[in-house]
């Protein structure tokens, strides 16, 4: 427990928020700072073939100590934190023996037990929270801490038999670029798990199909005193575009397998407004319909205000990994059995998002997603119960043990 907590509290102090604006990999220098230190730490604990490449990807190997050959397991987490809230000057707090009531942070920020009833499941446990001014960074520094703690345990206990284990930490997952420069051949695992899920027990083998739209709206600025029939307000057109989207198809109104449109960045003045939108659906056909809708909206606005008023780049980002996981379901079943054997009830769910694993699965590395234990990712109300982190470490170790029965 001490090691995984110590590591996590150290990692969250690094400002590794990614950026969509820099067009570099990694997108922010803080990720390289953390990456360099993680590479050194992996070497110090005894991992082999540690590499940290020019794009900020870390890979390392724990060689097999068995005489028979078993499949090589990969363990993956990402270093960056989300754009939605600041990741600078993170000041984590430990709530000792949580009493089941509201958790009051700084400046009147409250993690409400009524609004987040799952919080009461952790009554009596120690919980790590933010101080109410930043996100926490459990997404995904908890995963990094859990992976390193697990492999360190194996290194320090050589009597525990295991096959070859590969570890990778990636940059820029939060902006959808975590797998862009991932060298699957170099990683050389038979399958992998991203330690990037939420509450204890989660395991996920299906995710959204995803696209994003970068929309530039061009206006015409004229003094308001003489603006009639001349001024074109790009901000107003952006508002009109958003109003034409289906009102109920937003993340705040959807759950389960329901898809959505989500505008998560808008910047503008009269002459130009930039809008960034993500489009999600578990059903690929429904995603295609959603993309057609936004294309029709853009066409309508250009017909109304003039061709070239709205310019959109619409691109696919990743696809549902389910169809590629199903042929190797034993890796999901093994993870679920590992959870059961350490006293956890597995909760198989569809990810209402995506992970590096979704894209890696599509290029030949089957990679379902396992819990880290965190809640309320990407915001000031983020928290993670310490026992959940410990259980994540135990699950990794149990998967390694169960894999010893899978002869190659």
52-89: burial string, b at 16+ Cβ within 10 Å, e else: beebbbbbbbbebeeeeebbbbbbbbbbbbbbebebee
pLDDT given for residue 106 in this prediction: 86
What is the H or E stretch that residue 44 is in? helix 29-45
DSSP assigned state of 326: G
Query: Encoding tokens for residue 168?
Result: 């990778």
Q: Is 173 a catalytic residue?
A: yes
Is the model's pLDDT at 243 over the cut of 90? yes
Distance CA 89, CA 108 (A): 19
Q: Give the pTM.
A: 0.85
Q: How far apart are CA 45 and CA 390, in angstroms?
A: 19
Residue tagged 């350490």 (tokens): 342
Q: Residue 352 pLDDT more than 90?
A: no
Structural domains present in the chain: 2-207+320-403 (3.40.630.10), 209-318 (3.30.70.360)
Per residue in 276-308, pLDDT tens?
Answer: 999 999 999 999 999 999 999 999 999 999 999
The residue from 152, 172, 173, 281 that is catalytic is 173
Residue spans of alpha helices (H) in 46-194: 138-156, 184-187
Spot the catalytic one: 80, 139, 196, 356.
80
Mean pLDDT, rounded, for 31-48? 98
Does residue 355 surpass a pLDDT of 80? no
Burial classification of residue 7, based on how many CB atoms lie within 10 Å of its CB (0-12 exposed, 13-18 middle, 19 or more buried): buried
**Which pLDDT band holds residue 98 (cuts at 50, 70, 90)?**
very high
């Amino acid at each position: 427990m001490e090691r995984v907590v110590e590591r996590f509290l150290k990692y969250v102090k690094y400002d590794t928020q990614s950026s969509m604006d820099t067009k570099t990999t990694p997108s922010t220098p803080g990720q390289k700072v953390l990456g360099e230190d993680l590479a050194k730490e992996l070497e110090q604990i005894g991992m082999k073939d540690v590499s940290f490449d020019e794009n900020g990807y870390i890979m390392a190997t724990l060689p097999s100590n068995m005489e028979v050959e078993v499949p090589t397991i990969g363990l993956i987490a990402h270093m960056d934190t989300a754009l939605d809230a600041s990741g600078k000057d993170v000041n984590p707090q430990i709530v000792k023996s949580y009493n089941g009531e509201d958790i009051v942070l700084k400046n009147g920020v409250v993690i409400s037990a009524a609004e987040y009833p799952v919080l009461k499941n952790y009554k009596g446990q120690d919980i790590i929270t933010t101080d109410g001014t930043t996100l926490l960074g459990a997404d995904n520094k908890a995963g990094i801490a859990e992976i390193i703690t697990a492999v360190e345990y194996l290194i320090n206990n050589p009597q525990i038999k295991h096959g070859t284990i590969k570890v990778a930490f990636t940059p820029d997952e939060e902006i959808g670029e975590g797998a862009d420069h991932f060298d699957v051949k170099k990683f050389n695992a038979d399958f992998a798990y991203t330690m990037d899920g939420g509450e204890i027990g989660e395991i996920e083998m299906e995710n959204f199909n995803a696209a994003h739209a970068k929309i530039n709206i061009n206006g015409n600025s004229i003094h308001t005193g003489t603006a009639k029939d001349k001024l074109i307000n790009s901000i107003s057109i952006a508002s009109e575009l958003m109003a034409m989207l289906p009102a109920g198809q937003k993340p705040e109104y959807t759950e389960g397998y329901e898809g959505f449109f989500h505008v998560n960045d808008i910047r503008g003045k009269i002459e130009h407004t930039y809008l960034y939108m993500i489009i999600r659906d578990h059903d690929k056909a429904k995603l295609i319909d959603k993309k057609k809708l936004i294309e029709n909206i853009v066409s309508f606005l250009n017909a109304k205000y003039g061709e070239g008023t709205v310019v959109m780049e619409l691109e696919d980002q990743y696809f549902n990994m389910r169809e590629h996981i199903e042929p190797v379901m034993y890796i999901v079943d093994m993870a679920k059995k590992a959870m059961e054997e350490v006293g956890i009830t597995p909760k198989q769910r569809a990810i209402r998002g995506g992970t590096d694993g979704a894209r890696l699965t599509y290029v030949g590395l089957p990679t379902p997603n396992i819990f880290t234990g965190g809640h309320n990712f990407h915001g000031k109300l983020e928290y993670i119960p310490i026992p959940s982190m410990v259980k994540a470490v135990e699950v990794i170790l149990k998967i390694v043990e169960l894999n010893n029965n899978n002869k190659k």
